[in-house]
A and B are shown apart, each in its own frame.
Chain A
């Protein structure tokens, strides 16, 4: 063979090899941090959910207005007294390794969520006692007590279905090479580098998936993320901070879409969790005074440029479960002072624990100034997030500043926080009437009935204020105009059905 031929062949091979994705569309998404293990049973980090949206389909999904819609399951039917629910499954669905999705697989997955040591889904669907396989495409979940919010749990990681065969093969290490039934299958993961997934040819809804390949790139520095979006290195970035919005809006090649989040930013107050609850927990009027001294609108305006939403209840004002009879109160320093006088407190002083995260540090300073005007001295103590949450558990706090990412079902935003001995009730607040209402609400199927029950909880909580809810964020997604068909969802997750890259 002549040298020229060899050379040409070599060049041809190299060109082909160097550009295998010539005709492929590749969507590059910037993540705010590196996801943890990609195993739905043990995953905790929010960013993991963004990757799961591509990899793993769930039994149900939610619409932007939080209605439950079919995904891997096509319908549900509650049994008598909401003690069981029958799910009908979608036929013809395959896992990425070719294994069939059926009732057996659902049973395997649910049992895995419940029995794996270290499973974080146990607290979400722990009420499931057993799973019955009725036929290949029908399962029944038997519950130890009625639990309507269970369905909402099945729209997230607890409802994600992984291939039983792969799970048995990989065991603990499943998270390093996940095999699910979503629109994309796992290709590779470079830790803290990138996660690459590509289109699954046998996806049940493949007609609606237009993009061939997705690369998730964790970039912790927001300036670098934004710069990469502007330079075209990234096509989309998630959870954009309000201070970066102006820059994106000014750029003609970029767009930003925002939607109210499911969660809220809050200050839990120690009401009766040990000795530190003495001062603030002694009289609800003290907590009401603190609440009245805060001007939520000014906070949202000055720190967040009015991009966020002032809040005072466990759901945002735009939620159907919001109690319109108790709107966000205007600041009233005089009333706050009066309440403190009535409670017989002079020179109220307390400490607020704040993690180093910028948003809350800045707001804490504003709060300090606002409370000072009402004669309340609030000291700021900085603590790392993990340490702060642990201190909260132990009762080693007077007030701390945290947030809740929110759940599609209102129960997920209130139950464990306010029920006596609730898993996240660090305040150790306890009110039997409230408990009765909350329990009844999670056992009632009819949304209108539930709203009435939650409405009855509002006056109790507004009076006792075991936590101060301050604002709700908007989840902003920044993206290149080349990306089309994007719909924002309140959970901030990018869904790939209908997404196109031109």
Chain B
């Protein structure tokens, strides 16, 4: 994007207080994840069998879980797993979708047709099912859950990338470049690629939110981050059994997931408005 437009975008981003707050929340979560070692009052894997399933108190701010671990500390440390589980799969999906989208959209013809058919088939299978099947195949672990979610998120991004390429192909400056005799790869690299980014960025924000929920869902089923390492989803898995005796075990991890996902969605909203092509 050119300089003036970039300035406009940023200005529109910060003009909305909701977007700013959301961005700050996201940054706060990132900060918590990075600084977990300094922020968490207890070791997240330290068991204490004398303090099993204790209600929130001055000693344990958000209570303890079924083996006496501090819920608050586990939430803080769990941020790492959950944020990684959000960012890495989406980065994977976006990076793969750009070349694939370019290939399909720019080349066209039967390659495009068959790629899209395969893509539609993948889209037709429920996202969570692909993730569950892949995670079960690869074996339950955070790393495999991330791979599974990344692969499951790919079709949406490919479709988006290809759609953007198709729209851009007909833009004036692209036609002009062709007329001037620029080679296809050069056009792809200089003109199309940079302009593909805005819609992908917007989608990313929402996709990260969805990925965080997906990891939590997988962990809830026992397929994500394995115990004893903390992860918000696996905390919910354990909490289900003790729902009536220790509801705080389920309440706080869920609220935390809600908070980060909400912030990401609001941010995505703000990005969409700021990058809205109607304004440029």
Give me the interface of A with B, judged by CB distance under 8 Å: 221-223, 226-227, 241, 243, 246-247, 298, 302-303, 356, 358, 361-362, 365-366, 369, 380, 382-384, 387
Contact = CB atoms under 8 A, between A and B. Distances in A.
Given A302-B49, A356-B222, A366-B47, A382 B140 contact: yes
B240 A366 contact: no
Nearest to B238: A358
Interface string B243-254: 111000000000
A385 to B, nearest CB: 10
Interface of B: 47, 49, 52, 66-67, 136, 139-140, 222, 226-228, 238, 240-245
11 contacts: A223-B241, A223-B243, A243-B242, A246-B245, A303-B49, A358-B238, A358-B241, A365-B67, A369-B47, A380-B228, A382-B227
B71 to A, nearest CB: 16
B66 A223 contact: no
Contact of A302 (B52, B238, B242): B52
B269 to A, nearest CB: 35
Nearest to A299: B49
Contacts of B49: 298, 302-303, 366
B228 A365 contact: yes
Contacts of A243: 241-242, 245
Contacts of B244: 223, 226-227, 247
Q: Name A's interface SS.
A: helix
Contact of B227 (A221, A361, A387): A361
B67 A362 contact: yes
A384 B223 CA distance: 9
10 tightest A-B contacts by CB? A356-B222, A302-B49, A382-B226, A223-B243, A362-B67, A365-B67, A361-B227, A365-B47, A365-B228, A382-B140
A243 B238 CA distance: 13
B67 A222 contact: no
B228 A221 contact: no
Contacts of B228: 365, 380
B267 to A, nearest CB: 34
Q: Name B's interface SS.
A: loop
B223 to A, nearest CB: 9
B130 to A, nearest CB: 18
B145 to A, nearest CB: 12
Given A356-B222, A362-B67, A365-B228, A223 B140 contact: no
A294 to B, nearest CB: 14
A242 to B, nearest CB: 11
Contacts of B227: 361, 365, 380, 382
Contacts of B136: 384
A247 B67 contact: no
Nearest to B53: A243
A221 B67 contact: no
Query: Counting chain B CB atoms within 10 Å of each CB, which of A243, A246, A303, A384 scores highest?
Result: A243
Given A241-B241, A366-B67, A369-B47, 10 more contacts: A223-B241, A223-B243, A226-B244, A243-B241, A356-B222, A358-B241, A362-B66, A365-B67, A382-B227, A383-B140
Contacts of B66: 358, 362
Nearest to B45: A365
Nearest to A246: B245
Nearest to A223: B243
A424 B244 CA distance: 39
A117 to B, nearest CB: 28
B248 to A, nearest CB: 15
Contacts of A356: 140, 222
A247 B47 contact: no
Contacts of B139: 383, 387
B231 to A, nearest CB: 12
Contacts of A303: 49, 67
A185 B64 CA distance: 49
A8 B226 CA distance: 64
Contacts of B222: 356, 384
Contacts of B140: 356, 382-384
B209 to A, nearest CB: 26
B245 A247 contact: yes
B249 to A, nearest CB: 12
A222 B228 CA distance: 22
Nearest to B227: A361
Contacts of B245: 243, 246-247
Contacts of A241: 241
Contacts of A358: 66, 238, 241
Nearest to A230: B244
Contacts of A383: 139-140
B50 to A, nearest CB: 8
A259 B238 CA distance: 27
A153 B15 CA distance: 77
